[in-house]
Amino acid sequence: MAAAAVEPRVVVVGAGPAGSRCVEALVKAGIRPLVIDESARSGGQIYRRQPDNFTRSAEQLYGSEAAKATRLHKSFDGLQGRFDYWPESLIWNLAGNRIFVVRGAQQCSVEFSSLVICSGATDRLLPVPGWNYSGCYSLGGAQIALKAQACAIGAEVVFMGTGPLLYLVAAQYAKAGARVAGVLDTSPFYRRVAALPDLLANPRALYHGLGLTASLYLKGVPVYSGVEPLAIEGDAAAGVSAVRFRDGRGREKQLHCDAVAMGYHLRPETQLADLARCQFDFDASTRQWLPRIDRDGRSTVADIYLAGDGARIRGADAAEASGELAALALLADRGQAVDSQRVARLQQQLGQLERFARGLAKAFPWPHQLAAQLADATVLCRCEVVTVGEMRSTIALTGASEANRAKAFSRVGMGRCQGRYCANAGAEVIAAATDGDICSAGRLRAQAPVKPLPLALVEVAPEDWLEVSAEGVDPVLKPAEAGL
């Protein structure tokens, strides 16, 4: 079947909850979008699919969210043949109305008329002495190991951080039969009580969260609230051996383990929005910079829309709603009629979920005071092995009081993760060292490539990647003659 030439078109980045619902709305309106996703299959992180040769049920994989995951997967799969699909593909740069995509050792560029970025989120991490030892993972990494490889990150795991994901992944490990040595939450319990009025905006999610905590207690897993992480013990040769911390009463304790999963909520993946020159605003409740969007997901740049956790961390339900809403906004901007009542219902749903998200920010706050108090010897940037003390010395010697200037002098944020793991804590260190406000520390500007690329890439034409099978069901990637 001959491949059609690729013209400027609607492109959807990501096939998680937001991207999937966005595609569904666009296809129903008669648009054939191009969907580009880093994963091999749709679902995103929360509804990540297991490999084909695995046989676990949806209930085992997704627990109480099994029905939602199954509906989302079936919806996306049922639309195949009506959109173009590039899985296992990374958008590594964006300039004007053109994106640059790499898959394996091939790359191409695609011009778009409209772009919907549903890029998802990554773990928000807080450095602690010893977090650079082998055996330390993010909560998301620990979850991927369980879902996609059906294995645990260690024989005895400590889960440390704060937020709903902390309890979710710990409960998933306990349910799978892994040995959970303990759950260490930096947020004191009283904050959850104070946040109840907002948390009641989503009683189902609140009940689910309480159930996860209860399941851990029933399995005999020690759960500590209001802790202060002191150190991850171990050495460079053997890796992690224990976690040392102060409990809510100030007593020093230690849990033996061979792996640690860490995470303090999530942070949106905003690199593409940044490269698109979207405006950002500082969100005081979460102490981070977020792209500016209107109620429907329009960014400050024409024809670029943002949805899901890549714009706001509001959970999977909100991601689905915002993905559909962004698609309807795109259609309206193109002059197509949309259901105004449906738009109003989605906006109302998002309003409720936004209130719940505010409650979570109150109940499980980012422990910025711990970042400001880190010992000088603590590794701040794992990629470049820059310590907190070196960062403070750089600030004192150069007067660098802004994140990008401090990065230029210290190399914090120049490594493989491009600041994903160290930027938030680095800003807190800058603010504390300069007696400034966290807002004045700024944010690291995104630069291409947003993720590491192969050293050698072969340029191919987009149409070489855009062939649909004769059945018209399974979009597949056509290997270019000059490729691998």
Give residue 185's pLDDT band: very low, low, confident or very high (50, 70, 90). Answer: very high
Asked which of 181-185, 212-216, 435-439 is least confident by mean pLDDT, the reply is 435-439
Q: Dihedral of the CA atoms 457, 462, 465, 467 (nearest 10)? A: -160
Dump pLDDT digits (tens) for 266-301: 999 999 999 999 999 999 999 999 999 999 999 999
Examine the pLDDT at 482 and tell me if it is beyond 60: no
* Interior angle at CA 320, CA 315 and CA 321, nearest 5: 100
Tokens of 138: 């993010």
Choose the CATH number for 9-122+267-362 among 3.40.50.1980, 1.10.10.10, 3.50.50.60, 3.30.70.270: 3.50.50.60
Examine the pLDDT at 432 and tell me if it is beyond 50: yes
Dump pLDDT digits (tens) for 86-125: 999 999 999 999 999 999 889 999 999 999 999 999 999 9
pLDDT at 461: 87
Mean pLDDT of 52-74: 84
pLDDT at 64: 78
Give residue 436's pLDDT band: very low, low, confident or very high (50, 70, 90). Answer: confident
pLDDT at 7: 58
pLDDT at 466: 65
Examine the pLDDT at 143 and tell me if it is beyond 90: yes
Examine the pLDDT at 2 and tell me if it is beyond 90: no
pLDDT at 126: 96
Residue 162 · residue 186 · CB < 8 Å: yes
Examine the pLDDT at 50 and tell me if it is beyond 90: no
Q: Do the first three CATH levels of 9-122+267-362 and 367-452 match, i.e. the same topology? A: no
Give residue 22's pLDDT band: very low, low, confident or very high (50, 70, 90). Answer: very high
What pTM did the predictor assign?
0.92
Rounded mean pLDDT of the chain? 91
pLDDT-above-90 percentage for the chain: 82
Q: Which range in 67-71, 89-93, 148-152 is most confidently predicted, on average pLDDT?
A: 89-93
Reading phi first (left if > 0) and then psi (alpha if -120 to 50, else beta), residue 297 is in left
Mean pLDDT of 191-208: 93
Dump pLDDT digits (tens) for 441-481: 999 999 999 999 988 888 988 887 864 332 333 334 433 33
Smallest Cα–Cα separation from 6: which of 122, 108, 158?
A: 108
Domain 367-452, CATH: 1.10.10.1100
Task: Report the C-alpha gap between 301 and 296 in whole angstroms.
Answer: 14
Residue 80 · residue 474 · CB < 8 Å: yes
Q: Name the residue ranges covered by the structural domains of the chain.
A: 9-122+267-362, 125-264, 367-452
Residue 326 · residue 137 · CB < 8 Å: no
pLDDT at 78: 94
Examine the pLDDT at 435 and tell me if it is beyond 60: yes
Who contacts 430 (Cβ-Cβ below 8 Å, separation ≥6)?
A: 391, 395, 400, 401, 402, 403, 406, 436, 441
Examine the pLDDT at 60 and tell me if it is beyond 80: no
Task: Report the C-alpha gap between 479 and 484 in whole angstroms.
Answer: 7
Who contacts 341 (Cβ-Cβ below 8 Å, separation ≥6)?
A: none
Greater confidence (159 vs 1) lies with: 159
Give residue 147's pLDDT band: very low, low, confident or very high (50, 70, 90). Answer: confident
pLDDT at 136: 97
pLDDT at 478: 39
Examine the pLDDT at 226 and tell me if it is beyond 90: yes
pLDDT at 219: 95
Question: Would you tell me how many other CB atoms lie within 10 Å of the CB of residue 285?
Answer: 12
Domain 125-264, CATH: 3.50.50.60
Examine the pLDDT at 484 and tell me if it is beyond 70: no
